[in-house]
Amino acid sequence: MGLKTFIESWPVYRQLTGDDPLGRGSAAYSATTRNLVPRTATADRVVKSVCPYCAVGCGQNVYVQDGRVTQIEGDPDSPVSRGRLCPKGAATKQLVTSSGREHRVLYRRPHGTDWEPLDLDTAMEMIAERVLRSRRQGWQDEDEGKKVNRTLGFASLGGATLDNEENYLIKKLFTSMGAVQIENQARI
């Protein structure tokens, strides 16, 4: 590299002689930063979604490349959040990609001190058996002479991640089983 080229590559020289006198733009670029490309630029597609963390329901753009989530940003089209995400929402990519994400069913039996893995079929059988038993034990035909046909043996409490369609199905399912206490945190 010649002396002139060397001096011109110096950030302070570019700051003093170029169009970036505050040194907060092009003058501060190194060869590496000049070649950086945002993860969003190489995505194959962008999927519209809703932040699953809380009931505010901020809109998200989920960037996908080769079938994998590469970045999640606020959705400027959302009338709720207009492109913004709070720190929790901005970190939701880790919900999908974190190495700490659990993919197995884990069960801690009564008085147990450790989690033990279960296969999904076994877990579903255990849940079904408990639902049937609770329904039977908590069933009421009548209350003060009025026909009620309900169970107070279980309730449904959903989170903010549920959408309209999921809540519709959950309400149908639990009502058909006789539950009367059915609530969720979703407000979208």
Binding site for ligand SF4 (CB under 6 A): 51, 53-54, 56-58, 81, 85-86, 88-89
Query: What minimum distance in Å lies between the beta carbon of 183 and ligand SF4?
Result: 19
Query: What minimum distance in Å lies between the beta carbon of 68 and ligand SF4?
Result: 21
Q: In this structure, what token pair is assigned to residue 74? A: 């606020």
Residue 75 vs 150, nearer CB to ligand SF4 = 75
Q: Distance of CA 67 to CAs 52, 73, 103, 128, Å?
A: 20, 17, 18, 34
Contact 155, 182 (CB under 8 A): yes
Name which of 115, 136, 125 is nearest 178 in CA terms: 136
Residue 57 vs 153, nearer CB to ligand SF4 = 57
Contact 13, 21 (CB under 8 A): no
Query: What minimum distance in Å lies between the beta carbon of 90 and ligand SF4?
Result: 7
Q: In this structure, what token pair is assigned to residue 40? A: 């969003």
Query: What minimum distance in Å lies between the beta carbon of 70 and ligand SF4?
Result: 19
Element (H, E) at 135: helix 120-137
Residue 164 vs 176, nearer CB to ligand SF4 = 164
Residue 140 vs 167, nearer CB to ligand SF4 = 167
CB atoms < 10 A from the CB of 154, how many? 17
Residue 89 vs 153, nearer CB to ligand SF4 = 89
Query: What minimum distance in Å lies between the beta carbon of 96 and ligand SF4?
Result: 14
- With CB atoms as reference, the residue minimizing the distance to ligand SF4 is 89
Residue 185 main-chain phi, psi, to 5 deg: -95, -5
DSSP state of 148: E
